[in-house]
A and B are shown apart, each in its own frame.
Chain A
Amino acid sequence: MPGTRIDYSVILGLVPPGAKVLDLGCGDGTLLAGLVQAKRVTGRGIEISEEGVRACIAKGLTVLQGDIDEGLRDYPDRSFDYVILNQTIQAVKKPDVVLSEMLRVGEKGVVGLPNFAFWRMRLYLLFNGRMPKTEFLPYEWYDTPNIHFCSVLDFEEYCRKKSVTVEKRIFLSTDRGGRVLKGVRPNLFAESAVYLLSRRQPAAAERTG
């Protein structure tokens, strides 16, 4: 699919055909429509902006206008196979609550996040002494919707602490139209990351310490 964002094609690869999917912060529904079309998933979206919701309806998607910070509490446990939170975690007020809720209502979670320890970010801050801006994070400090940045290391530490199993981790760069990084030191070289998560069983958690 030419013109497809690299994170979209990675997520498309993670979700099996026919799965029941909830996309949190689904925006204009591009990713969800892609999943419905390519994987014939049963897709549901939650989006806070009216504009996004209208775009989703135009694409024929099932979408609720709502704030994911207000909670997923009305969804029963395990009501979805996959819950997706792509490029949204940095904009929610309580990432901790949202992450734990998504792993309650979904068997598996897919989280895509920008890596704030990407080397360009580091250099930007080091040499300019200013808050980093990139193509995907173009906002000024005072008008950004992004309020919770973390690095790859931060996120993985969070998962360990909260007994969340990282089943897959994929590191991405936007170089050359977007590619998956194979090399080492993703905390330095990955511009963003996509994680496939699941809730570790308590027994298993004990065994692996």
Chain B
Amino acid sequence: MPQRKEPGSVGLAKKKFFTFCDPPHEMDLEGGGRLGPVTLAYETYGRLNRDKTNALLILHALSGDSHAAGKYSADDRKPGWWDNTIGPGKAFDTDKFFVICSNVLGGCQGSTGPSSIHPATGKPYALSFPIITLNDMVHAQRRLIDHLGIERLFAVTGGSMGGMQALQWAVSYPDRVLASIPIATTAKHSPQQIAFNQVGRAAIMADPNFNDGDYYDREVPKDGLALARMVGHITYLSDDSMHEKFGRRLRGKKTLGYNFNLDFEVESYLRYKGDAFVSRFDANSYLYITKAIDYFDLSLPSGSLVKALEKVKSKFLVISFKSDWLYPPYQSKEIVKALMVNGVDITYCEIDSRYGHDAFLMDEGEMLKILRNFLENVASRHGIAVPATGS
């Protein structure tokens, strides 16, 4: 038995950039637009093995970025967004796998998005940025994977919007994905999900500072963006987890205020989450990415999900959470059924968690065990070599 390292951190992370599709070779977008040059910000953890078969592509959710694990400096307060899952000895074991995470196209953490400079005007794109789709995001990632010299990804995985990309990868590039792990996600956005996204977009656009998206040299629409985040955050939690986390506890006071100041802990928590979000996220990116999610419907153009998944070759692990009311288990089951009919090697688990949609980001011991076991079994069955040690 090889000695297992203590579960730990990937250490210091470094954001890297890859730029492609320089004019006149712009990227053709699903919505008809063209975009170039395109930059993707990405981070990698662990090492690629000699035959480049151990690459694990992590796909982030709406508000995520390329910083999935580790810290940028020793005194960084918070590690990457999936640090409990990625690292030596963890579920996505960086002793075994080469983990890649890139900021999506349209994002605001280093990848080309509405806040990037339009090369023709020298000013931020703002709303002149073309409409993008999840398909476009995945095509851009494929360019990055080409650039890294990887022919076939060992696995693609993510939760929520990340899960949609994991599905899209298996459909768009069936020969380039060995295993796909969509978590807490759907094959098409439901009217309820679209409705919540629209409330978020309406909040941003109703902000007096929105100025048709042209706000980069002035005050940003922070109230609208914070409100969008607050609404979003409610949908990520569950009734149970809100009871547990806040109850009806008062914040900073012993008695009710009988006014419109904040009384309850849940109120100040949402306010805090909203304000914190404004400091790291661009309102226009929020518009573009939520729109991309709303457009997501894997069953198009035929309308049949079974048909859409016909060419899939990767094996699948689909995970949902019982208390997730934003992406309820029935949506995962629809994916499972359509894959099953196509004879795909698919495993499905519905985890009995109380944390709602956010469960995939919490330290869910059961989910982590499932991910670890699944990946280890696929790796051993396909003879995926552990990268050589040493630098």
Contacts and interface: CB of A to CB of B under 8 A. Distances in A.
Interface string A30-52: 00000000000000000000100
Interface residues of A, number: 17
B351 A50 contact: yes
B194 interface: no
B346 A62 contact: yes
A74 interface: yes
A65 B349 contact: yes
Contacts of A66: 333, 348
A202 interface: no
Interface in B302-358: 315, 317, 333, 336-337, 340-341, 343, 345-352
Contacts of B340: 64, 74-75
Nearest to B333: A66
B350 to A, nearest CB: 5
Contacts of B389: none
B346 A57 contact: no
Interface residues of B, number: 24
Interface string B355-391: 0000000000010011001100100110000000000
A141 to B, nearest CB: 27
B347 A63 contact: yes
B370 A57 contact: yes
Contacts of B345: 62
Contacts of A56: 347
Interface in A65-112: 65-66, 74-76, 79
A64 B373 contact: no
B350 A57 contact: no
Interface string B236-253: 000000000000000000
Interface of B is mostly: helix
B341 A76 contact: yes
A58 interface: yes
B352 A50 contact: yes
B321 to A, nearest CB: 11
Q: Which of A61, A64, A74, A76 has the most CB of B within 10 A?
A: A64
A69 to B, nearest CB: 15
B341 A64 contact: no
A54 interface: yes
A178 B352 CA distance: 37
Contact of A64 (B348, B370, B380): B348
B339 to A, nearest CB: 10
A138 B389 CA distance: 53
Given A54-B366, A57-B349, A62-B345, 19 more contacts: A50-B351, A50-B352, A53-B347, A54-B369, A54-B370, A56-B347, A57-B377, A58-B369, A60-B373, A60-B380, A60-B381, A61-B347, A62-B346, A64-B347, A65-B349, A74-B337, A75-B341, A76-B341, A79-B343
22 contacts: A50-B350, A50-B352, A50-B366, A53-B347, A53-B348, A54-B369, A54-B373, A56-B347, A57-B349, A58-B373, A60-B373, A60-B377, A61-B347, A62-B315, A62-B346, A64-B346, A64-B347, A65-B350, A66-B333, A74-B340, A75-B341, A79-B343
